[in-house]
Amino acid sequence: MNISPDRNAAGAGRKVLLITPRFPFPPVSGGEKWAASLAGSLAARNEISLFSFTNPGTESHQAALAMSLEARLFKKVFLLPRPSGGADKRLPSLPASYWSPEAAAKLSEAVAESGAEIAHILFSEMACYEAAIPAALPVVYTEIDSSYLYPWKSYLRETAGFKGFFKAGEFFKSRSYARRHYGRFAAATFITASDGRDIARYLATGITAVTPNAVNPAEFTPPPEFEKRPGEIVFLGHYPHYPNEDAALRLALDIFPRVKAAAGGTSLTLAGSCPTPAITALAGPDISVPGTAADIRPYLWRAQVFAAPVRYGLGTKGKILEAFAAGLPVVASKEAAAGVEGAEDSRHLLTASSDSDFAAKVARLLGDKALRERLAAEALKLVGGKFSFTGVVSTVAGIYGRVLDGR
């Protein structure tokens, strides 16, 4: 992700306060990458401030990073320790883990100190903080994954899949939460049109747009010195995020052994960030778990196939877009592929409905160079035409303009 080296170089436009649950620098998860890319791109032409919480265990590092970014990217960074949670029993579990009255008071102060003319809340867990923002200040909201509204689609470890049906109270809380807070927003954006349809009933505004997960394709172009490793399969994930841990376990324990039996000479790399103990334990002679990497692109450049057997959560999977941009053919679960709007089975990627189907399609790709090249070429066209971050920034800037100019 490129960061503008001087926030004053292009002149100030809108004065925006971004509000995020996690300080998105360095960006290690998909949501943090989206937030960091948006902030860095907007700062080239706008005066951006950021209100966010530190990630536990990284407080001192992130505080130092915030100071350096304040000098060259943001007007002001308001960085708080993450609340201990549980201060409001009405809240669903995820928003509850980020809420505190003290943080709400600090946000009210941040609004005044930043001089913001518009606030932008990123992600559902921060929607409750709209109440701390003065009524006269318009608020834009971005939904990254609406699966918390459905017991069978949730990405949370405690409620994912069948477990969700035994925690119905959590979903009643989630819908009550949306009714209570989303009507305040002057505009809303969503990662997919499906996410937008899910929250539409709770919105009072007609100013909406899709702002998908996106990449800067040029950053993922493989350099000539990288050579493919025959038989190499790769998966990327921020593993504390349960859908990624679940997908990696499924891939390593259920799918990969079938690929080995069918293809032979194969290896699997589980790259990304913060591998959990369950993921670390998978490492062995033909499974690599390299740990947190500042740059994940070399893993994409070396592999022959990207595998994405993700089954929980909604929204566009940024990891698939990154594989597309790197020219890497993809096999994905039907759930993961559905989030990439415009992607067609057998044209841009291969989709699979079961572990055996998934393994068969990975093995097929490993053995068919022409198919790998054809899928990769079509996927690269798709990501360049529809999922470039330049379009996201243009859409968000247009939303700000419609809200502020229409008052």
Residue 6 forms part of a structural domain: no
In this structure, are 278 and 330 located in the same domain? yes
Q: What is the mean pLDDT of the chain?
A: 91
In the chain, the number of structural domains is 2
- How much is the pLDDT for 406? 82
In this structure, are 194 and 204 located in the same domain? yes
- How much is the pLDDT for 162? 47
> Is-contact 362 381, C-beta < 8 A?
no
Torsion from C-alpha of 361, 363, 369, 375, nearest 10 degrees: 20
Compute the average pLDDT of residues 156-174: 63
In this structure, are 252 and 149 located in the same domain? no
- How much is the pLDDT for 316? 62
Helix residue ranges, H only, 27-123: 30-42, 59-72, 93-96, 101-114
The answer, yes or no, to whether residue 5 has pLDDT greater than 90, is: no
Compute the average pLDDT of residues 259-263: 96
| Boundaries of domain holding 48 | 15-214+388-405
Task: Output DSSP code: residue 254.
Answer: I
In this structure, are 363 and 242 located in the same domain? yes
- How much is the pLDDT for 4? 46
Residue 356 CA to residue 115 CA, distance in Å, equals: 56
Residue 373 forms part of a structural domain: yes
Q: Place 181 in a pLDDT band, splitting at 50, 70 and 90.
A: very high
Q: Say which range, 123-137, 152-166, 257-271, 328-342, has the weakest mean pLDDT.
A: 152-166
In this structure, are 347 and 237 located in the same domain? yes
Q: Place 355 in a pLDDT band, splitting at 50, 70 and 90.
A: very high
In this structure, are 224 and 361 located in the same domain? yes
Residue 8 forms part of a structural domain: no
Max mean pLDDT among 2-6, 11-15, 49-53 falls in 49-53
Compute the average pLDDT of residues 67-73: 91
We report the CATH number of the domain holding residue 156 as 3.40.50.2000
What are the phi and psi torsion angles at 208 (to 5°)? -140, 160
The answer, yes or no, to whether residue 156 has pLDDT greater than 70, is: no
In this structure, are 183 and 155 located in the same domain? yes
Q: Place 31 in a pLDDT band, splitting at 50, 70 and 90.
A: confident
Residue 7 forms part of a structural domain: no
In this structure, are 382 and 392 located in the same domain? no
Residue matched to tokens 């502020």: 404
Residue 139 CA to residue 117 CA, distance in Å, equals: 9
> Cis omega (within 30 of 0) on the bond before 298?
no
In this structure, are 151 and 124 located in the same domain? yes
> Is-contact 350 331, C-beta < 8 A?
yes
What are the phi and psi torsion angles at 139 (to 5°)? -125, 130
- How much is the pLDDT for 85? 81
The answer, yes or no, to whether residue 405 has pLDDT greater than 50, is: yes
Which among 134, 108, 139 is positioned nearest to 16, based on CA atoms?
139
The answer, yes or no, to whether residue 175 has pLDDT greater than 90, is: yes
In percent, how much of the chain has pLDDT > 90?
75
Residue 100 forms part of a structural domain: yes
- How much is the pLDDT for 9? 40
pLDDT digits (tens, 9 = 90+) for 364-402: 999 999 999 999 999 999 999 999 888 999 999 999 999
In this structure, are 270 and 148 located in the same domain? no
385 CB-contact burial (10 Å; exposed 0-12 / middle 13-18 / buried 19+): exposed
In this structure, are 248 and 265 located in the same domain? yes
In this structure, are 182 and 230 located in the same domain? no
- How much is the pLDDT for 250? 97
CA distances from 210 to 70, 142, 188, 315 (A): 29, 9, 9, 11
Single-letter code of the amino acid located at 91: L
Q: Place 89 in a pLDDT band, splitting at 50, 70 and 90.
A: confident
